[in-house]
Amino acid sequence: MPQPNFKHLVMSTLAIATALAFVSPNPAQACSYAESYAPFEFAPDDEKAPDVANFPVLELALERISRGKGVDRSGGTTSCDGDGLIDFTISGWQEGYGIHLDFEGTLPDNFLPPTHPIEPLEGRPLYFLWHDGSTDDQEPFSFTLTATPVDQWGRKGQPSAPLLIAHPGSTSDSGGCNVTTAPPASPLSAALIALAMGFALIRRARH
């Protein structure tokens, strides 16, 4: 009985090992966000409010908008890919006051705005976070945001000037054109091809 060719066996083992490596999905990089704000706490009902309230004057500014995205051509993903993020600042806020936020217009899908007055957490940026979908096909949105100071007894000061927050959707990343790219090769398909090659080499080595 002829002995198997050692070179063929080595090549077959490498092919199978490569196939198993393709079967293992690329690990997604971890992603986490620290809390941006907390619910504002009102005073107890039996606590008397002061006669005068010196409300702060609030001003809003938009820092950036980040949308969800699809898998890149290398097949790499992160757990942040499906997140939408609106990063903004509120200047003029003073400790001891809450902020009531008003939203007018078309909000992003799956975005749930806070309905209770908020209190910014010191030293942390303010942002809104929602599940935007791990896709490059994103819908547009456009709304205005207004911030109004609130004291511990529910009294409100003057609202800020409205801040326009808008994103045109998918067209913003392609200059207004729809760009079609070839999808990355399926890891399962590559694994099956490599396994088939490995078994073929083993059968050849045995004859």
**Within a domain: 129:** yes
Total domains in the chain come to 1
Tell me what percent of the residues of the chain surpass a pLDDT of 90: 52
Structural domain harbouring 168: 54-175
Which helix (H) or strand (E) segment holds residue 206: the answer is helix 187-206
Q: How far apart are CA 164 and CA 175, in angstroms?
A: 22
Indicate the pLDDT class of residue 197, thresholds 50, 70 and 90. Answer: low
Q: How far apart are CA 92 and CA 94, in angstroms?
A: 6
**Within a domain: 91:** yes
Task: Say which CATH number the domain at 151 has.
Answer: 2.60.40
**Within a domain: 133:** yes
**Within a domain: 146:** yes
pLDDT digits (tens, 9 = 90+) for 139-185: 999 999 999 999 999 999 999 999 999 999 986 443 332 333 334 44
